[in-house]
Amino acid sequence: MAARLDEIARQAGVSKATVSRVLNERPGVSPRARSAVLTAMDVLGYERPNGLRPRSSGLVGLITAELQNPVFPFFAQVIETGLARHGYTAVLCTQTPEGAGEDEYVGMLLDRGVSGILFVSGLHADTTIDHSRYRGLRRQRLPIVFVNGDIPGLGVPCVSCDDVTAGRIAARHLVELGHRRIGFLSGPLRYSTVQRRLAGFRASLRELGLGHDTDDLVELSPFDVEGGQSAASLLVQRGATALVCGSDLMALGAVRAVRRHGLRVPEDVSVVGADDSPLMSFTDPPLTTVRQPVQAMGVAAVRALLDEIKGRPARAAEYLFQPELVVRASTRARWASHDRNAPPEPVL
């Protein structure tokens, strides 16, 4: 290291102490001296530390969960379009079980000198992981923004759907239709988005006088069609007449499970999805779902990141966007379970 400092100092025409201050990002170095040291490193073929690498003004990293769920391509489209309008190009990085993970993508993006990174439903939503990876990015002064999955105290802007409200309105809709055995199925509980939606679901049932004995009507499984089918099968066997699902893909799996039990949707079991992914109005039956405001959220996330890049950071807070219940043909009124000829019980 000492030999390298000597070589860089000679090439730059400065002292070793100046080189050391530049490499450690310490104050007290003039812009001219700093530029000379960095140029000397480039000429000599030494790799700059991450914090000293030049950032392209035109590239922004966009790290998303797998694209199997149609809501993630929708987010990517909105964000890429928003960035392009401001002269930035999104570098899309998709996480898959067999492919590169988030940390590998972050390293690649830093090597490419991106101006910032947007994380959509990534590891930041996992409450069990070490968040030091994001603290490191903040120390490097790299602008970052989260979508769906706030980390309190980190100082990173986050744009989220109000999952508590989403769970509430799905449960209320089914209770108003006369359902009393309402099942909840979603992804693993370690994700903050799942925790919030389940909390809203349970709170709504309590408020409507149905909060007792609901634990047997909650099933958590992978966020995909197969996970939805497996969880829904168990809930239907326990007597659920309606299902609140954590994603539209899980809802499609739930519909399949209901039919494999010889039942019909919605005549025997009502199903509510989440997100209102593209094409959900064309499924059989068209899916009732809780729409996530992807367009507004994507635009807000781009704006927050650009403000960070331009040195006008927004307040480091979570910005909640309200979901909307979209009623289609996968839900219908059900008579009270004790008398199939009676009208639904009134909602308290």
Write out the H or E segment, with its range, that includes residue 118: strand 117-120
How is the chain split into domains, by residue range? 2-48, 59-161+294-318, 164-293
Res 315: pLDDT = 76
Res 336: pLDDT = 45
Give pLDDT tens digits for 178-200. 999 999 999 999 999 999 999 99
For residues 9 and 155, what is the distance between their CA atoms, to the nearest angstrom?
Answer: 37
Res 192: pLDDT = 96
Residue 57 has pLDDT above 70, yes or no: no
Other CB atoms closer than 10 Å to residue 327's CB: what's the count? 13
150: alpha, beta or left, given left = phi > 0 and alpha = psi -120 to 50?
Answer: beta
pLDDT band for 341, please (50, 70, 90 cuts): very low
Helical H runs in the chain? 2-12, 16-23, 31-44, 71-85, 102-111, 132-139, 163-176, 192-207, 225-237, 248-260, 294-309
Listing DSSP states for 74-106 in one string gives HHHHHHHHHHHHTT-EEEEEE--SSS--HHHHH
Residue 327 has pLDDT above 90, yes or no: yes
For residues 122 and 282, what is the distance between their CA atoms, to the nearest angstrom?
Answer: 29
Mean of pLDDT over the chain = 89
Res 344: pLDDT = 46
Listing DSSP states for 131-188 in one string gives THHHHHHHHTT--EEEES---TTS---EEEE-HHHHHHHHHHHHHHTT--SEEEEES-
CATH 3.40.50.2300 fits 59-161+294-318, yes or no: yes
Residue 342 has pLDDT above 80, yes or no: no
Q: What is the mean pLDDT of residues 203-219?
A: 86
Res 226: pLDDT = 97
For residues 86 and 177, what is the distance between their CA atoms, to the nearest angstrom?
Answer: 46
Please report, for residues 50, 106, 131, 133, 140, the alpha-carbon distance to residue 136 in angstroms, rounded to integers and kept in the order given: 11, 11, 9, 5, 6
Q: Do the bridges between strand 117-120 and strand 59-64 make them parallel or antiparallel, or are there none, so unpaired?
A: parallel
Give pLDDT tens digits for 5-22. 888 888 888 988 898 888
- Secondary structure of residue 34 in the 3-state scheme: helix
pLDDT band for 347, please (50, 70, 90 cuts): very low
Res 60: pLDDT = 96
Res 36: pLDDT = 86
Residue range 2-48, CATH number: 1.10.260.40
Residue 106 has pLDDT above 90, yes or no: yes
pLDDT band for 222, please (50, 70, 90 cuts): very high
Res 249: pLDDT = 96
87: alpha, beta or left, given left = phi > 0 and alpha = psi -120 to 50?
Answer: left
Res 337: pLDDT = 45
pLDDT band for 301, please (50, 70, 90 cuts): very high
Order of all β-strands in the sheet with 59-64: 89-94, 59-64, 117-120, 144-147, 158-161, 318-321
Write out the H or E segment, with its range, that includes residue 63: strand 59-64
Q: Which of 37-51, 60-74, 265-279, 292-306 has the lowest mean pLDDT?
A: 37-51
Fold of 164-293: Rossmann fold (3.40.50)
Give pLDDT tens digits for 122-180. 899 999 999 999 999 988 889 999 999 999 989 899 999 999 999 999 999 999 999 99
Q: Do domains 2-48 and 164-293 have the same CATH topology?
A: no
Query: String of b and e for 127-144 (b: at least 16 CB within 10 Å)?
Result: eeeeeeebeebeeeebbb
- Secondary structure of residue 323 in the 3-state scheme: coil
Res 157: pLDDT = 95
Q: Is 45 exposed, middle or buried (0-12, 13-18, 19+ CB in 10 A)?
A: exposed
Q: What is the mean pLDDT of residues 94-123?
A: 88
Give pLDDT tens digits for 240-291. 999 999 999 999 999 999 999 999 999 999 999 999 988 899 999 999 999 9
Residue 99 has pLDDT above 80, yes or no: no
Identify whether the C-beta of residue 182 lies closer than 8 Å to the C-beta of residue 238.
no
Is the pLDDT higher at 66 or at 130?
130
* Nearest of 273, 265, 318 to residue 291 by alpha carbon: 273
pLDDT band for 212, please (50, 70, 90 cuts): low
Q: What is the mean pLDDT of residues 212-217?
A: 76
